[in-house]
Chain A
Amino acid sequence: MATQAQTIVILGAGQAGASVATRLRENGHVGRIVLIGDETDPPYQRPPLSKKYMTGEMECERLYLKPAEAYAAIGVELITGCRALAIDRVTQQVELTGHEVPLGYDQLVLTTGARPRALPEALVNGFDNILCFREMADANRLRALMAPGRRMLVLGGGYIGLETAAVARGQGLDVTIAEQGERILGRVACAETADHFRNLHQGNGVRILENTRLERFEGKDGVAERAIFADGRAIDIDLVVVGIGILPNQDLADAAGIDCDQGILVDEMCRTSDPRIHAAGDCARFPFQGQPTRLESVQNAIAQAEHLADSLTGRCVQGYAPVPWFWSDQYQCKLQIAGLSRGYTHIVQRSGGRPGAVSIWYFDDSGLIAVDAINDARAFMLAKRWLEQPRRPAQEMLGDPLWDPKTF
């Protein structure tokens, strides 16, 4: 726990970093709070980057979690464009770019997020029309390259790849998605949900190649012009977006000797193996439902960050045990996910009240664990409520089309 006068330094000014800083002040922490981020913008929301920001419906300032001035107003020293290079746990200092003197801390918070998994250098081969997608700067580059009629290849059929494909189609690009796994959404959803999104994209004119591994690009003058796949297939391309997963930013922690394993390891109070260092958000791996787990979502970035701040200010006694949730917008379709479908053994599908509304319910031996609600906000809201408590409807109920969830 932090005493009132302690200096708390937060590394990583994204969704989680901003939430920690704000919550610490709301909880009455009076000591110094320094929030350090290597991007030039103040903390902003990433989800619109592959949605309304890319379509131009939402300008940059509207993505900011709060106006840049608002940090100073609550006494948070926000330093942007500054990268933390090393943590010295003995002297309790952080080395920063552009600062000759290291910054001392009493408590250190790591909210460094994650970075896109890159294609092997041998594949990228210096071609600069191959883009990864995480930051506002990436979205700006991509926006500049998107023009009607251009041919875009999306590598990876996860949510970011699918959303990017949907936006690009909306702008009149010719889009192909190549997924090397057996099917799209293989890591995050069941085959029925994947079928729905495959149909949706194909219906909108996107070509989807599953079970298809990229072998190499051909091109010249730093521009990739053709993608050649392992099965011999080849397609002409103008730009490539790589959405093949993300890796937690744990290097700083790792180099400082803090326990890391596919994320910075924390306990249910967000503490790392060093009692003065804490972590939350995309970079943190925490015990959830009996397994070390890393969640990649706004819900987790906010809730775990707030839990961290509450625990630092002595406000919480219970461990972090969220009901994860997530959303994805593609074309006119709204997907909302509640719970975590990991380890499910069976599913049940229900149609919702409105045309096109369908929900897919996941169960394991313990009962209901998650739902994918497609154009079915009611199912999502109900599931969220149910997953917050131990008493949940049985599979037979949800499997019966005549059963009225309101009666539960």
Chain B
Amino acid sequence: MVTITYVEPDGTERTVDVAEGRSVMEGAVSNGIRGIVAECGGACSCATCHAYINAEWLDAVGPAEGDEADMIEFALDPRPNSRLTCQIEVHSGLEGLRLEIPAEQA
């Protein structure tokens, strides 16, 4: 299990354990974290699992590429630290990961 802190749109911090191999999006959905909608269930097709990765984690998580980068470019309020959380696989190197969920998705 890897500990991840999700900051919900209203600022509430939720720290939960997510199994390795799952995506950061799945960690949010299975723990009822608000703001991650994930309509397409992780198919990189909806951009409703958008979140901002905390600066200190950017290197470990890496940048968005390909389709994901294209989706983010035209998502609501994209920022340099934007990622689609369904495209981030949880592994031990992400222990303590922190990310913020935007107020609106898609």
Enumerate chain A interface residues (CB-CB to B < 8 A): 45, 47-48, 51, 62-63, 65-67, 70, 73-74, 298-299, 302, 325, 327, 329, 334, 336, 353-354, 375-378, 380-382, 384-385
Chain A contacts for B46, CB-based, 8 A: 325, 327
Q: How big is chain B's contact interface, by range?
A: 20 to 34
Residue of A nearest to B22 (CB): A62
Q: Can you list 17 A-B pairs, Cβ within 8 angstroms, ordered by A? A: A47-B40, A47-B41, A62-B22, A65-B29, A66-B29, A66-B30, A74-B32, A298-B39, A298-B40, A299-B39, A302-B37, A302-B39, A329-B45, A376-B70, A377-B44, A378-B70, A381-B74
Shortest Cβ gap from A368 to chain B (Å)? 16
B47 within 8 Å of A (CB atoms): yes
Shortest Cβ gap from B62 to chain A (Å)? 18
Chain B contacts for A62, CB-based, 8 A: 22, 26
Q: Give bound CA distance, A353 to B67, whole Å.
A: 11
B75 within 8 Å of A (CB atoms): yes
Enumerate chain B interface residues (CB-CB to A < 8 A): 22, 26, 29-30, 32, 37, 39-41, 43-47, 66-67, 70-71, 73-75, 106
- Is A384 in contact with B39, judged by CB distance below 8 angstroms? no
15 additional A-B pairs beyond A51-B43, A299-B39, A377-B71, beta carbons within 8 Å, are: A66-B30, A74-B32, A298-B41, A302-B39, A325-B46, A327-B46, A329-B43, A334-B44, A334-B45, A334-B67, A377-B70, A378-B73, A381-B74, A381-B75, A384-B106
Q: Give bound CA distance, A377 to B74, whole Å.
A: 9
- Is A70 in contact with B30, judged by CB distance below 8 angstroms? yes
- Is B45 in contact with A327, judged by CB distance below 8 angstroms? yes
Contact A47/B43 with A334-B67, A377-B70 known, Cβ cut-off 8 Å: yes
Chain A contacts for B39, CB-based, 8 A: 298-299, 302
Chain B contacts for A329, CB-based, 8 A: 43, 45
Residue of A nearest to B67 (CB): A377
- Is A381 in contact with B70, judged by CB distance below 8 angstroms? yes
- Is B30 in contact with A67, judged by CB distance below 8 angstroms? yes
Q: Give bound CA distance, A359 to B35, whole Å.
A: 30
Chain A contacts for B22, CB-based, 8 A: 62
- Is B30 in contact with A45, judged by CB distance below 8 angstroms? no
- Is A385 in contact with B41, judged by CB distance below 8 angstroms? no
Residue of A nearest to B26 (CB): A62
Shortest Cβ gap from B2 to chain A (Å)? 16
Chain B contacts for A73, CB-based, 8 A: 32
Q: Give bound CA distance, A68 to B4, whole Å.
A: 22
- Is B40 in contact with A327, judged by CB distance below 8 angstroms? yes
Residue of B nearest to A384 (CB): B106
Residue of B nearest to A58 (CB): B42
Chain A contacts for B40, CB-based, 8 A: 47, 298, 327
Residue of A nearest to B68 (CB): A377
